[in-house]
């Protein structure tokens, strides 16, 4: 957990706020307890490898990798490190966002600091030192199947920390060694076990899922407030939010969302001119947003578990006399298998698609003079001579189509690979990165709707009667001028999205 505004201690697992903070320079502290765990695990590994007699086979330390586990690895430990990382340099595509790369490395640092991966204290301290700078590895997007961890992307990150490949410093891409030198960082020196521990986890998947979840949650909150502002501007009766009605529905998310929306519409005065029943995009909003709340609760649980979990293979448990396992054990298994995040990210994609649909449909309603209480078409000040929100509404349709196209579940796409060693894979990395991209588009859809609501007030919609809705509208008015005459609105959509991201509790 964060202990100050700019310092993170490894005494407990990072949360998603810590991941976001890691995008900027941050002091990461490796405390004495972490050092003790690391030293104990390292000594245990050394004893297994160099003690009397023939020690046990330890994947990655004494063996080849993946399907080649049945063959001996390289005898020299530095060579074994190179052997681990060199063959994974097969990624392609554009570089991942710095936010994801640094968040992933923060998760990797915390996982390794638990002392069950056998890495040295120096490795963790060197990783921690990176966060005090703007250094960020250049990591290609494509190449992971989310099993055996995010092998290829984490290999690129590790190589950059060794001074190989490319990295960014202050946002500028350059050779990794040049970036390390300019940042005042020493290259990582690794053996085979260190190298494998750095790549054999789901840190990229977990980071992208956590960051996407936060963004979708922000849009979910925004849509509650925007729906209330829409209903107030149009003069809708708030009966669709009735507490007894939503309790009868039986779903806790709807009850929770309904309570928030009633608070936002406290003091609203219906116009009395609306139809008996509003379109579903208003009347069923608490049921839709409530179902999203319930689904997001599941995603929250997976993200929390992944942030606090150790994803690696094998794990080394030194044991102690206190618990009867004085000799310790090395356990080979599958804690690198990103199935939970794959399911969660796919569910997040479904939630994103339906929230995006709601925002787009509400904007369509708002721009349609047949349904918007007689406001001009496209909310244009002088229709024909001006076009108001026509371009924004068109772009919103394109955003939603892109979200829908990408909402196909990735976790059902398992393909065998690695000579059938990896005969089932979760594709969690694809699910997570796709959800991260979709969350950005959802934020833009919310910004587009907010811009429409701001313009509606300019072209004749009534003043909101609920104080909370009026406050939101006033904030939008202060941030964004009216559309009169026509102008490019891309920056205004982004400005509205930024305002919404920090609006409300």
pLDDT surpassing 70 at residue 322: no
Q: Rounded to whole angstroms, how far apart are CA atoms 23 and 43?
A: 33
Mean pLDDT of 393-397: 97
Pairing, β 140-142 against β 172-175: unpaired
Mention the CATH class of domain 209-501: mainly alpha
Provide the pLDDT confidence category of residue 68 given band limits of 50, 70 and 90. confident
Cβ(236)–Cβ(274) below 8 Å = yes
What is the residue whose two structure tokens read 């829908």? 404
**Nearest of 90, 106, 141, 118 to residue 196 by alpha carbon:** 118
Q: Rounded to whole angstroms, how far apart are CA atoms 56 and 51?
A: 11
What per-residue confidence (pLDDT) applies to 437? 97
Cα separations in angstroms, 126 against 113, 200, 202: 12, 18, 20
Provide the pLDDT confidence category of residue 62 given band limits of 50, 70 and 90. confident
User: Which are the contacts of 260, defined by CB distance < 8 A and separation ≥ 6?
Assistant: 224
Give 303-333 as a 3 state SS string. Answer: HHHHHHCCCCCCEEECCCHHHCCCCCEEECC
Annotated active-site residue 142? The verdict is no
pLDDT surpassing 60 at residue 204: yes
DSSP states along 82-94: HHHHHTT---EEE
pLDDT surpassing 70 at residue 497: yes
Q: How high is the mean pLDDT of the chain?
A: 92
DSSP 408: S
DSSP 172: E
Lowest mean pLDDT among 39-48, 240-249, 314-323, 406-415: 314-323
Instruction: Summarize pLDDT for 11-61 with one digit per residue, the tens.
Output: 889 999 999 999 999 999 999 999 999 999 999 988 888 766 566 778 777
Reported pTM: 0.94
Ranked by mean pLDDT, the top range of 51-65, 74-88, 104-118 is 104-118
What per-residue confidence (pLDDT) applies to 5? 47
What per-residue confidence (pLDDT) applies to 52? 61
DSSP 184: T
Mean pLDDT of 484-498: 97
Q: Within 10 Å of residue 186's Cβ, how many Cβ atoms?
A: 12
Alpha helix ranges (H) inside 368-410: 390-405
Lowest mean pLDDT among 158-167, 181-190, 410-419, 489-498: 410-419
Q: Rounded to whole angstroms, how far apart are CA atoms 141 and 121?
A: 29
Token pair in block for residue 85 = 């990382």
Q: Within 10 Å of residue 385's Cβ, how many Cβ atoms?
A: 9
What per-residue confidence (pLDDT) applies to 3? 35
Percent of the chain past pLDDT 90, that is, above it, reads 77
Mean pLDDT of 345-370: 97
What per-residue confidence (pLDDT) applies to 162? 96
What per-residue confidence (pLDDT) applies to 294? 98
User: Which are the contacts of 152, defined by CB distance < 8 A and separation ≥ 6?
Assistant: 88, 89, 90, 91, 140, 143, 144
What per-residue confidence (pLDDT) applies to 2? 34
pLDDT surpassing 90 at residue 10: no
Question: How large is the greatest C-alpha to C-alpha distance in the chain, in angstroms?
Answer: 89
Alpha-carbon dihedral sign for residues 263, 266, 271, 277: positive
pLDDT surpassing 90 at residue 450: yes
Tell me the CATH number of domain 2-201, given options 3.40.50.2300, 3.30.70.20, 1.10.275.10, 2.50.20.10. 1.10.275.10
Instruction: Summarize pLDDT for 176-201 with one digit per residue, the tens.
Output: 999 999 999 999 999 878 888 999 99
pLDDT surpassing 70 at residue 400: yes
Q: Within 10 Å of residue 110's Cβ, how many Cβ atoms?
A: 25
3-state secondary structure of 174: strand
What per-residue confidence (pLDDT) applies to 326? 60
User: Which are the contacts of 472, defined by CB distance < 8 A and separation ≥ 6?
Assistant: 225, 226, 229, 503
pLDDT surpassing 50 at residue 1: no
The DSSP element (H or E) to which 280 belongs, if any, is helix 280-283
Q: Domain segments of the chain: what residues?
A: 2-201, 209-501
Residue 8 pairs in a beta bridge with: 2, 28
From the candidates 59, 156, 168, 436, which is the catalytic residue? 59
């Amino acid at each position: 957990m964060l202990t100050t505004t700019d310092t993170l201690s490894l005494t407990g697992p990072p949360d998603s706020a810590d991941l976001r903070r890691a995008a900027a320079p941050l002091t990461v502290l490796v405390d004495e307890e972490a050092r003790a765990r690391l030293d104990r695990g390292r000594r245990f590994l050394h004893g297994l490898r160099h003690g009397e007699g023939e020690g046990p086979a330890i994947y990655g330390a004494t063996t080849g990798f993946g399907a080649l586990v049945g063959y001996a690895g390289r005898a020299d430990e530095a060579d074994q490190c190179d052997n681990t990382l060199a063959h994974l340099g097969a990624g392609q595509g554009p570089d991942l966002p710095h936010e994801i790369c640094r968040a992933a490395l923060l998760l990797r640092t915390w996982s390794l600091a638990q002392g069950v991966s056998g890495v040295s204290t120096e490795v963790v301290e060197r990783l921690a030192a990176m966060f005090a700078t703007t250094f960020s590895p250049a990591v290609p997007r494509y190449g992971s199947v989310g099993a055996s961890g995010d092998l290829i992307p984490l290999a690129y990150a590790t190589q950059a920390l060794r001074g190989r490949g490319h990295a960014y410093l202050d946002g500028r891409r350059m050779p990794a060694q040049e970036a390390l030198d300019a940042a005042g960082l020493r290259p990582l020196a690794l053996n085979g076990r260190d190298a494998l521990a750095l790549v054999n986890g789901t840190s990229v998947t977990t980071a992208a899922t956590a960051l996407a979840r936060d963004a979708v949650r922000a849009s979910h909150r925004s849509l509650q407030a925007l729906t209330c502002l829409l209903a107030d501007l149009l003069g809708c009766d708030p009966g669709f939010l009735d507490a007894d009605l939503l309790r009868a529905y039986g779903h806790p998310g709807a009850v929770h969302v309904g309570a928030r929306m009633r608070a936002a519409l406290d003091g609203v005065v219906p116009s009395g001119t609306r139809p008996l029943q509003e379109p579903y995009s208003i009347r069923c909003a608490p049921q839709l947003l409530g179902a999203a709340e319930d689904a997001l609760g599941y995603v929250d649980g997976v993200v929390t578990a992944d942030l606090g979990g150790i994803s690696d293979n094998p794990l080394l448990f030194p044991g102690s006399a206190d618990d009867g396992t004085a000799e310790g054990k090395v356990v080979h298994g599958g804690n690198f298998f990103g199935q939970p995040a794959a399911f969660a990210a796919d569910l997040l994609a479904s939630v994103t698609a339906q929230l995006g649909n709601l925002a787009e449909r509400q904007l369509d309603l708002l721009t349609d003079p047949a349904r918007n209480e007689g406001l001009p078409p496209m909310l244009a000040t002088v229709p024909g001579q001006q076009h108001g929100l026509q371009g924004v509404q068109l772009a919103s349709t394109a955003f939603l189509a892109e979200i829908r196209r990408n909402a196909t579940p990735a976790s059902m796409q398992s393909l065998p690979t690695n000579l059938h060693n990896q005969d089932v894979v979760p594709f969690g990395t694809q699910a997570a990165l796709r959800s991260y991209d979709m969350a950005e588009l959802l934020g833009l859809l919310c910004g587009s709707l907010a811009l429409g609501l701001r313009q509606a007030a300019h072209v004749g919609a009534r003043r909101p009667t609920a104080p909370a809705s009026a406050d939101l509208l006033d904030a939008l008015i202060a941030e964004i001028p009216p559309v009169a005459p026509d102008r490019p609105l891309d920056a205004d959509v982004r400005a509205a999205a930024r305002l919404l991201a920090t609006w409300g509790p």
